[in-house]
Amino acid sequence: MSSQQNAECCEPTLSEALSPDRAAELARSFKVLGDPVRLRVLSLIAARRGGEVCVCDITDAFDLTGPTISYHLRQLREAGLVDCERRGTWVYYWIIPAKLGLLSQFLDPADTVTPTAGA
């Protein structure tokens, strides 16, 4: 079963009329991506290609305090871009491909622009 399949079904593309509710929902996700540290944290997690990353490794990779990293991870989690699980001392994070796919598809100009356009 593909979780990506579910999330992308019936989702709008940029070239479709965007309801205020849907726009608000998408904007919330993009706003969370609109921070360089969060993008780098997300990138670090995504670099495991579907695997998990210990919060200890994420914190080690940045010259930032634990609480700051935790804040950014919480923002990413609340936006549905990553999920996590505590096991013993550490929390492990992984990306949610379905959510990333939804945002990627929304912006995909192949869904927006005809091949002859853009001249």
- 33 vs 54 by CB, closer to a second copy: 33
How wide is the angle at C-alpha 34 spanned by C-alphas 28 and 37, nearest 5°? 125
Q: In the bound complex, what is the minimum distance in angstroms from residue 111's beta carbon to a second copy?
A: 9
Diameter over CA atoms, the chain: 57
Q: In the bound complex, what is the minimum distance in angstroms from residue 90's beta carbon to a second copy?
A: 20
Q: Interface with a second copy includes 84 (CB under 8 A)?
A: no
Q: Interface with a second copy includes 49 (CB under 8 A)?
A: yes
3-state secondary structure of 42: helix
- 63 vs 89 by CB, closer to a second copy: 63
**70 φ/ψ sector (left φ>0, alpha ψ -120 to 50, else beta):** alpha
What letter does residue 115 receive in the DSSP assignment? T
Contact 44, 53 (CB under 8 A): yes
Cα–Cα distance for residue pair 20/32, rounded to 1 Å: 18
Q: In the bound complex, what is the minimum distance in angstroms from residue 93's beta carbon to a second copy?
A: 13
- 89 vs 116 by CB, closer to a second copy: 116
Interaction site with a second copy (CB under 8 A): 3-4, 12, 14-18, 20, 23-24, 26-28, 30-40, 42-44, 46-47, 49-51, 94-95, 97-98, 100-101, 103-110, 112-114, 116-119
